[in-house]
Amino acid sequence: MSPTDPDPVLGAQHPIRLAARRINGHVNHTPLLECDLHRELRLKLECWQVSGSFKARGAFNALLSLDPPPHGVVTVSSGNHGQAVALAARTLSVAATVVIPEGANPYKVESIRGLGAEVVQSGVTFDNRMQVAQRVAHDRNLVMVHPYDDWDVIHGQGTVALEMLEQDPRIRTLVAPVGGGGLLSGTSLTARALDPEIKIVGVEPAGADDAARSLASGRHCRLTSAPATSADGLRSLSLGDRGFAVLVGAGGADAIVTVDEEQIGAATALAWTRLKLALEPSAALPLAAFSAGLLDRMPAPWGLILSGGNFDPAVVAGMLGLT
C-alpha cells in the first residue's frame, strides 16, 4: 500500500507512516528477495540502502524532523550511523560533527570525512565518547542525533519492516540484529501496529548478550565492558531506554537469540559465497540464527533484515579462510 493509501490499522498519522513519507526520495526502497537456502526465507537487502546500511532511514528521519532546521548536528559513531548522519546532513545542507574514539578503524573514519562531516577524535575513548559529544553539542549549539535512543531514529528504522510487510504480507516472523535496539524496536512498533500475531526476533552476538538477558530477566542489563565481537555494529553496552521500553517493557520482542563468533563468521561466508551478497558481519546475524535452527519454532515465512554491507575487508578475509 502506498503512503497515500494508508491501511486502517497503521494510519496515515502513525509516526512510522510519517517517517516513510518524510524519507521517501532520500532512501532506497530495497528489494525483498527469496533465495534457494530455504523457500520460506525472505531477505531484505538493506546492504543496498544509501550509505550502505539501514541507518540512513533513521538519520534522514531525525534530521528531517528537526524544526526549525538546526545549525548543525553531532553524533557518536565510528560506523554505519556516523556515515548515515554524514550523508543525511550533506544532503540537507546541515553541518555534521561525528565523535569517534581514537584508534577506530581508519577506513570508516575516512568514509565519514569523505561525506563531508567533521570528525572529533582527540582525547576521545570508548568510555567518554558520549560525554565528549554532549560537550561538543553544548559548546557549538549542535543538535545531538543519538544512534538508537531517539524516537525519530527508531521510527525511521521502522520503515524497513513497513516495506517488508507491503512486499510480502504473508511474512509471519521478522528477524533483525540487535545492538542498541533501534532497528528491532522500530521493527516491532511497525509489526505490532499492523498485525500483533507477527513474531519479532532479535539476534545478538553471544559475547554481547545484554538484550537477551534483559528480555529474560525483565531488567535493563548492561555489559561492563566493550564486547569482543566481529559484529562491530552490535557492540553497544545495552539497549537504549526507548528500546528497552518497547522490546521488554511493552513486550515488543518475542525472542532474542544469540549466536557465537563461529556462527557469525560462517553466516557471513555463506552470504558471500552462496548468496553472492557482500554483507558485513553484523548483517549476517539473522542468517546465522536461521542456520543454527533458531527460527525453526517460529512461524514462516521468515523475513530477515540483512542490515548493511559496510564490511572491513580484513575481517571478512578471515571468515573466508584467507588469513
Q: Do 151 and 177 contact (CB within 8 A), yes or no?
A: no
Cα→Cα distances 138→63, 72, 130, 153, Å = 18, 12, 12, 21
3-state secondary structure of 26: coil
Site for a copy of itself contains 50 (CB under 8 A): yes
Active-site residue, from 78, 111, 236, 282: 78
Does residue 273 bind a copy of itself (CB under 8 A)? yes
Strand partners, 173: 199, 302
Nearer to a copy of itself by C-beta: 64 or 306? Answer: 306
Question: Among 22, 41, 42, 52, which residue sits at the site for a copy of itself (rule: CB under 8 A)?
Answer: 52
Q: At what angle do helices 80-91 and 55-65 cross, to 10 degrees?
A: 40
Region binding a copy of itself by CB under 8 A among candidate stretches 115-123, 135-143, 267-275, 285-293 = 267-275
Rule CB under 8 A: say whether 284 interacts with a copy of itself. Answer: no
Q: Considering the rule CB under 8 A, would residue 292 count as an interface residue with a copy of itself?
A: no
Binding status of residue 228 toward a copy of itself by CB under 8 A: no
| Grid cell digits, residue 57 | 532511514
Q: Output the CA–CA distances (angstroms, integers) from residue 31 to 48, 194, 259, in the order listed.
A: 8, 20, 26
Binding residue (CB under 8 A) for a copy of itself from 6, 21, 33, 245: 33
Q: Which residue in the set 176, 212, 279, 285 belongs to the binding site for a copy of itself (CB under 8 A)?
A: 279
Point out the catalytic residue in the list 51, 53, 55, 238. 55
Looking only at the bridges linking them, the beta strands covering 302-306 and 38-45 are parallel
Q: Is 114 in the site for a copy of itself (CB under 8 A)?
A: no
Active site residue 78: yes
Regarding 322 and contact with a copy of itself (CB under 8 A), the answer is: yes
Neighbour order of strands in the sheet with 199-205: 32-35, 38-45, 302-306, 173-177, 199-205, 255-259
257 lies in the site for a copy of itself, by CB under 8 A? no
Q: Establish if 177 lies at the interface with a copy of itself (CB under 8 A).
A: no
321 near a copy of itself, rule: CB under 8 A: yes
Exactly one of 20, 41, 47, 119 binds a copy of itself (CB under 8 A); that residue is: 47
> Minimum distance from CB of 229 to a copy of itself (Å)?
21
One residue of 6, 18, 40, 48 binding a copy of itself per CB under 8 A = 48
Give the whole-angstrom CA distance, residue 64 versus residue 156: 10
Query: CA 252, CA 61: separation in Å to the nearest integer?
Result: 22
What residues contact residue 2 under an 8 Å CB cut-off, 6+ apart? none
Q: How far is CA 240 from CA 41, 77, 124, in A?
A: 29, 15, 21
Which of 3, 11, 31, 103 lies at the binding interface for a copy of itself (CB under 8 A)?
Answer: 31
The question of whether 44 is a catalytic residue gets the answer no
Sorted by sequence, the CB contacts under 8 Å of residue 296 that are 6+ apart come out as: none
Positions 297 through 316 that interact with a copy of itself (CB under 8 A): 309, 311, 313-314
Coil, helix or strand at residue 34: strand
Minimum distance of a copy of itself from residue 278's CB (angstroms) = 4
Q: What is the amino acid identity at position 201?
A: V
Write the single-letter amino acid at 254. D
Which residues are part of the catalytic machinery?
A: 55, 78
Interface with a copy of itself (CB under 8 A): 31, 33, 36, 45, 47-48, 50, 52, 271-273, 275-279, 309, 311, 313-314, 317, 320-323
